[in-house]
Structure 1
């Protein structure tokens, strides 16, 4: 790998540990550069290494009835594959690159040995897993609490904050998202998501194209989500 690492995403695993811990951990692995659309980890496989995202974004998905369901987006500094490293029960999800991605592959035993000798790193792995579970629980609770356009506002404002790219009139979400993927993220049917997106466009909060979303008013999108939360 050439060139410096980017700034780690706020709240990501690498952002939570110290510089020396980060350097030692990454030195355990092999760093590789992957093309767009590559499956880094595959649901059901029995491998148990972990990967640390150094550059780029990845999608985490699972298969339900033979159809992929988007679960989350992971960012620079995020750890993926840690559950299989801990329990050895096979991969619970598939991780696919969005654009070019640089990651460091760390073998299971080396990863477990390292966190066993570094309590702070082990604690931050626990924090990372806990945050992901809380995020998933919050999404599920929103399914019945809020209309779809509000659920979309909440999810898109979070994604824009973490991987939005400033352009002329707003933030371009740096990950391609289909309406099918948005539907699985917010727990709605695709046609309902289409109506929700129309509502957000009518409110001048975003602009959409094929797998392309530009958030025109980040504060307005967040305010819509916050206002619904307090009703």
Structure 2
């Protein structure tokens, strides 16, 4: 695979990508090595909660709670429920969504192994602010609020890390809110693809693959648009040579994608 190319896979490879069928956008980018932990602890993608903990504290953290598994489509937690446990993701992918006042659903983010979900309710003992749903088979550790609080008292480095995680997510949400009003849909879509590639890329035989299956409807929810408008933007990206679709995958040319996203090289 040539440098600067990104591979995206489609959920239904037999469908015509120019039709209105649901398409999955699974993004990749290059290079990959800087996005993953060192060989000393290769399981946790860089930037995730577990990757930022010192090794000894991380090992202790992974002993907390109980192990559980969720099937694709199964909910780990539901918006407005009052349970207060935290979930550590060990494998699989989940999506975080919230219901809007008009009855639609907003996709707030994707979480990968090494991430935590439910931290706000666990720390504040308030109702859930979002729903978390497994996108694939997902293995987790479920940690009660009481056990988490005791652990954080004895391991202040973990407390700092979890608050840093909360702050980073809030900053990202604020940035997206500004971009919704400041950029057209095609730019927001390109930025979303760059961010997914940067955050969730892993090296595959044809490039750096992100195992995040997003339909056009989910992409639209992520960037605050409609499925029809996202469909049109994807068609324009194909026409302009930013992305290419083949039998089972899509290739995105990273430099062109960043130009469309109006991003400097290395920014995301």
- Structures share fold, TM-score greater than 0.5: yes
- TM-score of Structure 1 vs Structure 2, range by shorter chain: 0.7 to 0.9
Normalized per residue, the structure richer in helix is 1
What displacement does 1:115 show? 0.8
What displacement does 1:63 show? 1.2
Work out whether 1:34 is the aligned partner of 2:57. Answer: no
Work out whether 1:87 is the aligned partner of 2:124. Answer: yes
What displacement does 1:147 show? 1.5
Contact 2:73/2:135 (8 A) holds in 1? yes
Partner secondary structure for residue 222 of structure 2: helix
How many pairs are equivalent?
224
Calculate the TM-score normalised by the size of structure 2.
Answer: 0.76
- Summarize deviations over 1:147-196 as a string: whole Å, max 9, x none: 11111111111112333455676555422212221112112232221221
Work out whether 1:58 is the aligned partner of 2:72. Answer: no
What displacement does 1:89 show? 1.6
Work out whether 1:201 is the aligned partner of 2:238. Answer: yes
Normalized per residue, the structure richer in strand is 1
Q: Tell me the equivalent position of 2:14.
A: none
Flag the 1:208–1:88 CA change in 2: closer, same or farther, 3 A. Answer: farther
CA distance in structure 1 between the aligned counterparts of 2:261 and 2:249, rounded to whole angstroms: 18
- Summarize deviations over 1:132-157 as a string: whole Å, max 9, x none: 01111111111122111111111111
Contact 1:35/1:101 (8 A) holds in 2? yes
Contact 1:160/1:215 (8 A) holds in 2? no
Calculate the TM-score normalised by the size of structure 1.
Answer: 0.87
CA distance in structure 2 between the aligned counterparts of 1:102 and 1:57, rounded to whole angstroms: 9
Contact 2:187/2:262 (8 A) holds in 1? no
Q: Tell me the equivalent position of 1:155.
A: 192
CA distance in structure 2 between the aligned counterparts of 1:203 and 1:167, rounded to whole angstroms: 26
CA distance in structure 1 between the aligned counterparts of 2:69 and 2:207, rounded to whole angstroms: 30
From 214, 217, 230, the equivalent of 2:253 is 217
CA distance in structure 1 between the aligned counterparts of 2:231 and 2:186, rounded to whole angstroms: 9
Mind listing any 5+ residue stretches in structure 2 that lack a counterpart?
A: 1-40
What displacement does 1:205 show? 2.4
Which structure is richer in relative contact order (CA contacts within 8 A, separation 6 or more)?
2
What displacement does 1:14 show? 0.4
Contact 2:94/2:111 (8 A) holds in 1? yes
Q: Tell me the equivalent position of 1:132.
A: 169
Contact 1:30/1:106 (8 A) holds in 2? yes
